[in-house]
């Protein structure tokens, strides 16, 4: 007989995304680009309760570094938040590449 059931998922979850960058790209530029993209994400999506935080370098190798972005969210929204972070980061990188090629 089950006497008690507790749902531990009613708190907040943490959406975490790691993004690799080539060591040829300046770290400060990458962080600034991602911060701007995360501000845009927050402005356009009310379900994201706070601006995703660009935490900095997660790992480093001879050819690349990996930046981590994290945001607290509702447990049911974790996968959506991770998807949005990836989408906005990718769009920001594509826009930057277009500008760089255009100059």
What are the boundaries of each domain within the chain?
Answer: 13-102
CATH architecture of 13-102: 2-Layer Sandwich (3.30)
pTM of the model: 0.86
Residue found under tokens 């356009």: 44
Mean pLDDT of the 48-61 span = 95
Position with higher pLDDT, 103 vs 58: 58
Q: What is the mean pLDDT of the chain?
A: 91
- Cα(68)–Cα(13) distance, integer angstroms: 16
Q: pLDDT at residue 31 above 70?
A: yes
Average pLDDT over residues 60-65: 96
Please report which confidence band the pLDDT of residue 101 belongs to, taking 50, 70 and 90 as the band edges. confident
């Amino acid at each position: 007989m089950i006497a008690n059931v507790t749902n531990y998922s009613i708190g907040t979850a943490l959406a975490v995304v790691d993004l690799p960058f080539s060591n040829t790209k300046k770290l400060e530029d990458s962080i600034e680009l991602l911060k701007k993209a995360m501000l845009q994400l927050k402005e356009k999506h009310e379900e994201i309760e706070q601006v995703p935080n660009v935490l900095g370098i997660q790992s480093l190798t001879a050819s690349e570094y990996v930046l981590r972005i994290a945001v607290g969210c509702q447990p049911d929204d974790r996968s959506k938040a991770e998807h949005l972070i990836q989408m906005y980061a990718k769009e920001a990188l594509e826009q930057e590449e277009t500008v760089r090629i255009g100059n």
